[in-house]
Amino acid sequence: MGPLFTVLVLALVLDALCGDFPWLFRRMPHPVVWVGNLIGWFERRLNKPRYGNRDLLMRGLLTSVAVIGCAAGFGGLVQLISSFGGIFVIADILLLAVLIAQKGLYQHVRAVSVALKRDGLSGGRIAVSMIVGRDPNTLDTAGVSRAAIESCAENFSDGVVAPLFWYVLGGPIGLCAYKAINTLDSMIGHRSARYLYFGRFAARLDDVVNFVPARIAGAVICLAAVIGRKSSGERAWTVMLRDGVKHKSPNAGWQEAAFAGALGLSLAGPRCYGAELVDDPYIGDGRRDANASDIDRALTLYTTSCILNAAWPIVLKVLWIGLI
């Protein structure tokens, strides 16, 4: 299997043990924070209301290219260090462990379940506000629970599957470039008046780089649902293929629909973001009255999905070796 197998196994084990490395990143900024600061620096200087729409498009494109280039350059440095072999491969392992979010996502979603059980709706609202952008004060217990499950589903692709996919494809350079694109989309890829044109390139590029990982994520969730005792693999496949395209994002619907079908829930639907009501269709045709126990079932499905996700690069490698 070679170095790729070693890096994947050790990085995923390290992430499972250390999560977001809080003891380290309390003392120094996380790499994603560096990227975010760089995006903010460009945005403050280039995104001015006095510019025309075409000008803002070009300035947003320049921002994206510059940020992605810097991130890829850092990845290239890590790749160069790792190329010396031996103990230097630890640079690859640490980078992947830091930029993948298996345990971190699990902890954030589980905190919502714990808060609902311990502190009721008020505690659940506070906990879910840490992982979703919608107004938590508009959510009842079912809304808080669905929001946590939706975040778990969507971020399984963005935070777990896609980083692994781009690392396998492009090594540290591919991984760092992907994280830069994903952070650009999070910060400036909104359809608000301020970012509609400046962030359009970043948003479209994020759609492109997540196209394949999102569909891998959906398939992995469906396979995990087949294995699970409290989930339906058949319903997961059916709902994913039927409702995955209902989401406003070309990618997020695949994972949410797979979760909805597997758990017998309806997700998405109308939601409030500040003063704005987003009237999205429901995904799935199951119960809407989700609760903390449904979050726990979603986390079990997520854990199984993470284990299966760790296997596909190895299978791909074996098939590739067989072909050549």
Least confident of 6-20, 66-80, 141-155, 218-232: 6-20
**pLDDT at res. 321:** 52
Report the pLDDT value the prediction gives residue 202, as an integer from 0 to 100.
Answer: 97
At residue 324, the pLDDT reads 45
Residue 273's pLDDT band, with cuts at 50, 70 and 90, is low
Tens-place pLDDT, residues 81-121: 998 888 899 999 999 999 999 999 999 999 999 999 999 99
Q: pTM for this one?
A: 0.92
Confidence band of 277 (pLDDT split at 50, 70, 90): low
Q: How many helices (H) and strands (E) does the chain have?
A: 13, 2
Residue 3 is encoded by which pair of tokens? 């170095």
Alpha-carbon gap, residue 275 to 236, rounded angstroms: 33
Bridge partners for 278 per DSSP: 271
Q: Parallel, antiparallel, or unpaired: how do β-strands 267-273 and 276-283 relate?
A: antiparallel
Angle of helix 141-156 relative to helix 102-128, nearest 10 degrees, comes to 160
| Model confidence pLDDT, tens digit, residues 33-42 | 999 999 999 9
In terms of Cβ atoms closer than 10 Å to its own Cβ (0-12, 13-18, 19+), residue 71 is buried
Whether residue 261 contacts residue 284, with contact meaning beta carbons closer than 8 Å, is answered with yes
Choose between 133 and 224: higher pLDDT. Answer: 224
Residue 59: pLDDT band by 50, 70, 90 thresholds? Answer: very high
**Mean pLDDT throughout 24-32?**
89
* Of 134-148, 214-228, 263-277, the least confident: 263-277
Burial of residue 323 (number of CB atoms within 10 Å: 0-12, 13-18, 19+): exposed
CA atoms within 13 A on the CB side of 60: 27
Q: What is the mean pLDDT of the chain?
A: 91
Cα within 13 Å of Cα(7), Cβ side: 26
Q: Is residue 279 helix, strand or coil?
A: strand
Which segment of 49-58, 300-309, 314-323 scores lowest on mean pLDDT?
Answer: 314-323
pLDDT band at 24 (very low <50, low <70, confident <90, very high): confident
How far apart, in whole angstroms, are the C-alpha atoms of residue 178 and residue 169? 11
Lowest average pLDDT, out of 21-25, 128-132, 278-282, 287-291, goes to 278-282
* pLDDT value at 173 more than 90: yes
Residues in the chain: 324
- pLDDT > 70: percent of the chain: 94
Least confident residue range of 19-23, 166-170, 220-224: 19-23
**What pLDDT score does 266 carry?**
94
Mean pLDDT of the region 269-273: 72
